[in-house]
């Protein structure tokens, strides 16, 4: 089996058929599709069973609701593909994506491929792969170095299945990808980064990724702390890059608190992040070459907190009203 496609499903009856059909239309690659019904309350379980009955390549797991990370684990444990591809039930694949990625992985002996993702709020959008894109290769310690500094924690990647032999996703309320991604990538010997769009991500008003800012968003900083502790204990060669990732997350959270007009509500958490940033400053100065702009922003946030907060407010105003228009 070439690729195991794993798709957690939770109350996706209104849109999951498009995701499933985008897999069924994939040619050349030998694939299996695992639909993991994560305790859905709508007609999703029946839809999953109907597809499994009509296509022997499709398998269904019914389980209690524990979140997408744990749902993926249930399928990983039964998957037989050499590679694993994760798909959310409100997204879909670009035509020919699976064979394109599998052929690239085999030709270049890749453990992970990070591919292009097109975000849209139009469910009828027709997206095609970019021909002859630039492909970057990262080996050994450069895999984590690239992840910590240039890549998102999104599961929109092709993984060699053996990367999950020691670690699985954990049950967390948000950011389940970032919580564990560094553990998976630490086992990878070769990473490819390709800008060719293979995945279409639906980004509608009810999308999980567009929810309002809340207390649970602060777990992003905890994810960064986990990466720093991991690097300190297991991979000191990329400690500076892990620290960069943490600082980037902290500054992003400070911005989001302001951008979502939540400073009064989360003032205590904001100030706690500011205190931790100040404590990290001397350590961070050793790694300014990784990203000088980030450390300038860190310095400004620490030394002039009120000015920095107002700068973030102006930036949020610019993006919301001028560059993109009111959302």
Supply the CATH number for residue 51's domain. 3.90.550.10
pLDDT band at 214 (very low <50, low <70, confident <90, very high): very high
| pLDDT at residue 256 in the model | 96
pLDDT digits (tens, 9 = 90+) for 125-171: 889 888 889 999 999 999 999 999 999 888 899 999 999 999 999 99
Same domain for 250 and 300, yes or no, is yes
% of the chain residues with pLDDT over 70: 96
pLDDT band at 296 (very low <50, low <70, confident <90, very high): very high
Look at residue 133 and give its three-state secondary structure.
coil
Compute the Cα dihedral for 155, 160, 164, 166 and give only its sign. Answer: negative
Say which residues have a Cβ less than 8 Å from residue 242's Cβ, sequence separation at least 6.
144, 148, 182, 224, 227, 228, 230, 231, 232, 235
- pLDDT beyond 60 at 206: no
Question: pTM of the entire structure?
Answer: 0.92
| pLDDT at residue 130 in the model | 81
Same domain for 243 and 146, yes or no, is no
- pLDDT beyond 70 at 209: no
Which of the two residues, 327 and 69, has the higher pLDDT score? 69
- pLDDT beyond 80 at 42: yes
d(CA 59, CA 32) in angstroms, rounded, equals: 8
Same domain for 97 and 9, yes or no, is yes
Same domain for 250 and 297, yes or no, is yes
Identify the CA nearest to 116 among candidates 198, 177, 192. 198
Same domain for 219 and 97, yes or no, is no
| pLDDT at residue 205 in the model | 61
- Which domain range does residue 315 map to? 212-323
| pLDDT at residue 319 in the model | 80
Average pLDDT over residues 220-240: 97
| pLDDT at residue 207 in the model | 55
């Amino acid at each position: 089996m070439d690729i195991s496609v794993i798709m957690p499903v939770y109350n996706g009856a209104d849109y999951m058929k498009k995701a499933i059909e985008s897999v069924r239309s994939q040619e050349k690659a030998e694939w299996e599709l695992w639909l993991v019904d994560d305790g859905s309350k709508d007609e999703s379980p029946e839809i999953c069973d109907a597809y499994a009955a009509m296509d022997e390549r499709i398998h269904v797991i019914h389980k209690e609701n524990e979140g997408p990370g744990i749902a993926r684990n249930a399928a990983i444990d039964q998957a037989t593909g050499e590679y694993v591809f994760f798909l959310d039930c409100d997204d879909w694949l670009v035509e020919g994506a699976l064979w394109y990625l599998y052929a690239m992985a085999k030709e270049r002996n890749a453990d992970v491929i990070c591919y292009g993702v097109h975000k849209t709020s139009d469910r009828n959008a027709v997206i095609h792969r970019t021909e002859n894109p630039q492909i970057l290769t990262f080996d050994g310690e450069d895999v984590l170095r690239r992840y910590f500094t240039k890549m998102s924690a999104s599961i929109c990647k092709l993984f060699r299945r053996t990367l999950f032999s020691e670690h699985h996703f954990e049950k967390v309320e948000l950011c389940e990808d970032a919580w564990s991604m560094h553990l998976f990538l630490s086992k990878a010997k070769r990473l490819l980064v390709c800008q060719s769009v293979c995945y279409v991500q639906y980004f509608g008003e009810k999308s999980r990724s567009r929810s309002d800012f809340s207390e649970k968003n602060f777990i992003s900083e905890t994810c960064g702390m986990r990466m720093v502790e991991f690097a300190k204990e297991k991979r000191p060669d990329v400690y500076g890059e892990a620290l960069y990732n943490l600082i980037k997350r902290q500054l992003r959270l400070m911005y989001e608190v302001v951008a979502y007009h939540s400073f009064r509500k989360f003032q205590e958490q904001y100030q706690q992040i500011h205190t931790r940033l100040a404590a990290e400053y001397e350590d961070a100065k050793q790694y300014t070459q990784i990203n000088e702009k980030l450390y300038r922003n860190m310095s400004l946030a620490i030394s002039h907190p009120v000015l920095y907060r107002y700068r973030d407010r102006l930036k949020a105003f610019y993006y919301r009203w001028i560059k993109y228009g009111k959302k």
